[in-house]
Amino acid sequence: MRLHIVNPNTTASMTAKIATAARAVALPDTMIDARQPDMGPVSIEGFYDEAFAVPGMLGCIRDADRDGADAHIIACFDDTGLDAARAAAKAPVIGIGEAAFHMASLIAARFAVVTTLGVSIVPIEHNLQKYGLLARCARVRAAEVPVLALEERNSDALGKIAAEITAAMRDDRAEAIVLGCAGMADLAGELAAKHGLPVVDGVAAAVTLAEGLVRLGLKTSRLGPYAAPGTKTYAGLFSRFQP
């Protein structure tokens, strides 16, 4: 099968890291096609960045659909543009945030999320409530690490994330940790070994769930808000995105 993973920001090194994490857990017959848009922010940190990341991401999904993708994965923990992508794509679409939350809920009564910056806490809480899993989340914590710092080998990002995991175990009684950024995908194993509890990476979780949907032949329902968008004219810069 062919899984398309789109990094909604435009940082190539992060896309490469995401692809490596995806291939590490994919089944032998799964081909990982990792892409990024050519327009939008270099990182997604808050609602404003998210808004400008969506058009380019949807363009990647449209192109991957045409290239025969069996499923799409949105590799931003805020599940950027997930609803719009499900309406637009022919193949099923999974967000790494939703995937990670569901995986954590299967292995722990209470999990905590450790994300990058404080500006991401409320969007993540909104998603947890939307998915019906807010009550299972002990707390959403921010390590106050800029997303692009995760690409720097000499930064103190790992130490700050580890400190928040320690606090989540001590203060929030968390039984599992969800890493709240695709840029943390390569840290899950190390952090799980260090702290002695399950650490869920959304990229790996989404790949596993996407493979399951494809093998079961399940696709997005069109009987509701994910119905295909109607034909209409889009003006100006967005003309190439019109349905």
Domain boundaries, the chain: 2-95+204-241, 97-201
User: How far apart are the C-alpha atoms of 92 and 96, rounded to whole Å?
Assistant: 13
What tens digit of pLDDT does each residue of 86-135 get?
A: 999 999 999 999 999 999 999 999 999 999 999 999 999 999 999 999 99
As a whole number, the mean pLDDT across the chain is 94
Q: Above 80 in pLDDT, residue 219?
A: yes
pLDDT band per the 50, 70, 90 thresholds, residue 153: low
- Among residues 100, 143, 94, the alpha carbon closest in space to that of 121 is found at 143
Percentage of the chain exceeding pLDDT 70? 99
pLDDT higher at 23 or 158:
23
For residue 23, pLDDT over 90 is answered with yes
Overall size of the chain counted in residues? 243
Q: Which two tokens mark 83?
A: 């609803």
DSSP letter, residue 90: S
Condensed to tens digits (0 to 9), the pLDDT of residues 50-59 reads: 999 999 999 9
Amino acid 154: pLDDT: 62
If one looks up domain 2-95+204-241 in CATH, what number appears?
3.40.50.12500
Name the pLDDT band for 242 (thresholds 50, 70, 90): confident
Query: Which pLDDT does position 214 carry in this prediction?
Result: 98
CATH tag, 97-201: 3.40.50.12500
CB–CB of 138/174 below 8 Å? yes
Whole-model pTM?
0.94
Model confidence at 237, pLDDT cuts 50, 70, 90, reads: confident
DSSP SS3 for 113: strand
